[in-house]
Amino acid sequence: MLGVCYYPEHWPEAWWADDARQMRELGITYVRIAEFAWSRIEPAPGRFEWGWLDRAVATLGDAGLRIVMCTPTATPPKWLIDAHPGILPTDAQGRPRGFGSRRHTTFSSGAWLEASRAVTEAVAARYGAHPAVAGWQIDNEFGCHDTVLSYGPEDLRAFHEWLRRRYQDPERLNEAWGNVFWSMEVASFDEVSLPAGAVTETNPAARLDFWRFASDQVVAYAAMQAAILRAHSPGRFVTHNFMGRFIGFDHWKLGAELDFATWDSYPLGFTEQRELPDDVRAMFAETGHPDMAAFHHDLYRGVGRGRWWVMEQQPGPVNWAPWNPVPKPGMVRLWTWEALAHGAEVVSYFRWRQAPFAQEQMHAGLHRPDRVRSPGGEEAAQVAAELAALALPDGARAPVVLVFDYEAAWVTSIQPQGQDFNYVELCLRWYEAARRCGLDIDIVPPGAPLAGYAAVLAPCLPIVTEAARAAFEAADGMLLFGPRTGSKTATFSIPPELPPGPLRALLPMRVIQVASLRPGLRHAVAGHVAGTMERWREWVEPGEGTEALARFADNTPALLRAGRAHYLAGWPDAALLNATMRRVLGIAGLTLLDLPPGVRLRRRGDLTFAFNYGPEPWTAPDAGSLILGDCIVPPQGTAVWKA
Ligand code: GAL
């Protein structure tokens, strides 16, 4: 169940066999290779040098390793860019982004699509049937370094085509976007400009469509590679490694093109990048926030339709966050076990050995540059030994489900209205509040079936599609909706009946005004639950059959209930959010724990896992028969017991 990312092209060939043997000794099964090796695979146009990669594949395969082969399209070589500079992406100021790192491509470039097809064909034809190749990773981290939206001439042409297909008639586009405002009307699709570089804010409806278009381009690109790989490599899986905290394209759609999802888990880097209160960040700076990895495990289990891996697991300090601490002892082991507890089929570490050169020389690996095992490497070996003594049962559906939507992220980032309205942060906080109750959570897209879940959480869903509305209405558990839900139509305007728009039947109420609240500005809430709203607050006009469970000081509802449906009219602080979550999950009939800030549980079949990210030991209340660890779980400790 363990893997590692390996770069044979970074090391003398004389080391490969020894590295492979040591991987097996450590307990590693899968080795991912070649995602950045284009300049060595094809050093000049059409001149392929397979010899070294053939030997690397043979060496790894002979050692008994299963290879995850990659297409090298995250790093097109210099000769290709020089021949076709139009491949380079263009920033929002209209400047080309240069060669010298990676992902220097736009998905709209015809030359890029052609070159991508050719190199994918070549690699797939060469290794598709190789017995050591278990499957494929397409490209590497689509969208990394802000590379989904590109503003060049080919992007504009492709956007025009996309708009033509979507609207057919420019009049329909004018109508949909509200182009009469500020005389933005166009007489033909070719008159549409890219939504950037204008004097002030461009039309939000145009920006949403541009984002949808760009997202579709990523999905189409992945589908193109997947088709080539499947043709040359039948019976092998095709996957992609997604990122954390990343909303650049619709992962639900891209996931549908894959056999399963994988993602790259860097808990310390992500915690460093999150907007957290100082005391919370200080507490978790060297462990990672306890919901950071877990949230994404649950998200990507959903994206992979139940099947997923961690393709890159942080093994020590990274190099890319503002500060890069060393994980506290035990954390690399804990993160690995946590991924497995959430259902990962494989956890693969990034990377086998720290590179002494180039951009990532400050990034740890399982080994130091001098070939000695790092502390993270020791912990990986410990997990491997522990895993050998333990059979992991299949996981089951969770009792709680959270609806996560990429369009919600786009809408709220295009029109934040308050500069700290961050959709992913809101979802993470709702997720945290539910997990503090000791519950497991599934994450699904809007429109996915919700029947059978005891509770459904929708932290913020501005655009409620017909499918999403039907799924909410068919749900049989308690529903909790958050701010801005139903506040926009599909074409980015305010619904005629006011929010929550299409959810009127479930939530007979109207949101009549909203406020964003600058830091320090807070609106108190009291009633069955209490606390304050920060960042965002709404004024709700309650309709027939509703009950206000809590109110603002001006007596308008802050938490409103209509049968099974609840609406929380703002961005709650931790006290209000925790109280609201406990109330809704409690009436859903779930048994709730009250875990400390740093402790989380997760079930896999009849096993319960406990993870202690906090600074104090934690005593498990009713730890059945222990399989791993102790019922007093120390800081950075993991325990597993059988119910
Ligand atoms: C990932 C990426 C890897 C490496 C790693 C460093 O985002 O896929 O290639 O750069 O980060 O943490």
- Label residue 413 by pLDDT band (50, 70, 90): very high
Q: State in Å: Cα 359 to ligand 1 middle.
A: 11
Quote the mean pLDDT of the chain: 97
Q: Running DSSP on this structure, what letter comes out for residue 86?
A: G
Q: How far is CA 87 from CA 96, 104, 240, 328, 401, in A?
A: 9, 7, 22, 42, 41
User: Closest ligand 1 atom, CA of 35?
Assistant: 9
Q: State in Å: Cα 65 to ligand 1 middle.
A: 22
User: Closest ligand 1 atom, CA of 318?
Assistant: 12
Determine how β-strand 478-481 pairs with β-strand 237-239.
unpaired
350-363 tens-digit pLDDT: 999 999 999 999 99
What is the rounded distance in angstroms from the CA atom of residue 282 to the CA atom of residue 284? 6
- Label residue 643 by pLDDT band (50, 70, 90): confident
What is the pLDDT averaged over residues 572-582? 98
261-319 tens-digit pLDDT: 999 999 999 999 998 999 999 999 999 999 999 999 999 999 999 999 999 999 999 99
User: Closest ligand 1 atom, CA of 243?
Assistant: 7
Which residue's alpha carbon is nearest to atom 1 within ligand 1? 264
Topology of the domain comprising 400-587 = Rossmann fold (3.40.50)
Q: State in Å: Cα 47 to ligand 1 middle.
A: 28
The tokens for 279 are: 């005391």
User: Closest ligand 1 atom, CA of 241?
Assistant: 8
Q: State in Å: Cα 181 to ligand 1 middle.
A: 44
Which residues belong to CATH 2.60.40.1180 in the chain?
Answer: 604-642
User: Closest ligand 1 atom, CA of 314?
Assistant: 12
Q: Which residues sit with their C-beta closer than 6 Å to ligand 1?
A: 140-141, 144, 264, 266, 312, 318, 320, 350, 360, 363
Q: Is 191 in the active site? A: no
In three-state secondary structure terms, 81 is: helix
Residue 380 has pLDDT above 90, yes or no: yes
Closest CA relative to residue 174, chosen from 161, 182, 162, 496: 182
93-139 tens-digit pLDDT: 999 999 999 999 999 999 999 999 999 999 999 999 999 999 999 99
Tell me if 599 sits within 8 A of 614, measured CB to CB.
yes
38-54 tens-digit pLDDT: 999 999 999 999 999 99
What is the pLDDT averaged over residues 423-430? 98
Within 347-422, residue ranges assigned H as helices are: 375-388, 406-414
Q: Running DSSP on this structure, what letter comes out for residue 328?
A: P
Residue 605 has pLDDT above 80, yes or no: yes
User: What residues have CB less than 8 Å from 162, skipping those under 6 apart?
Assistant: 209, 213, 216
Q: State in Å: Cα 320 to ligand 1 middle.
A: 9
Which residue's alpha carbon is nearest to atom 5 within ligand 1? 350
Among the listed residues 42, 154, 312, 538, the single catalytic one is 312
Determine how β-strand 618-619 pairs with β-strand 632-633.
antiparallel
Give the pLDDT confidence score for residue 21 in this predicted structure.
98
Q: State in Å: Cα 103 to ligand 1 middle.
A: 12
Among the listed residues 35, 42, 141, 154, the single catalytic one is 141
- Label residue 621 by pLDDT band (50, 70, 90): confident
Which residue's alpha carbon is nearest to atom 10 within ligand 1? 360
Residue 233 has pLDDT above 80, yes or no: yes
User: Closest ligand 1 atom, CA of 359?
Assistant: 10
Which residue's alpha carbon is nearest to atom 6 within ligand 1? 318
Which residue's alpha carbon is nearest to atom 2 within ligand 1? 141
Q: Write the class of the CATH domain 604-642.
A: mainly beta
- Label residue 438 by pLDDT band (50, 70, 90): very high
Give the pLDDT confidence score for residue 143 in this predicted structure.
98
Residue 622 has pLDDT above 90, yes or no: no
- Ligand 1 pocket check: which of 5, 324, 350 to mutate, most ligand atoms within 8 Å of Cβ? 350
Closest CA relative to residue 362, chosen from 313, 325, 318: 318
Look at phi and psi of residue 399 and say left if phi exceeds 0, alpha if psi is from -120 to 50, else beta: alpha
Which residues belong to CATH 3.40.50.880 in the chain?
Answer: 400-587
The tokens for 470 are: 């039907």
Q: Give the number of other CB atoms < 10 A from CB of residue 196.
A: 16
Q: State in Å: Cα 363 to ligand 1 middle.
A: 9
Neighbour-count burial for 1-34, b at 16+ CB within 10 Å, e otherwise: bbbbbbbbbbbeeeebeebbebbeebbbbbbbbb
Which residue's alpha carbon is nearest to atom 12 within ligand 1? 318
Q: Is 312 in the active site? A: yes
Q: Give the number of other CB atoms < 10 A from CB of residue 333.
A: 21
Q: CB burial class (10 A; 0-12, 13-18, 19+) of residue 101?
A: exposed
Q: Global pTM? A: 0.98
What is the pLDDT averaged over residues 225-231? 98
What is the rounded distance in angstroms from the CA atom of residue 211 to the CA atom of residue 620? 46
What is the rounded distance in angstroms from the CA atom of residue 236 to the CA atom of residue 165? 34
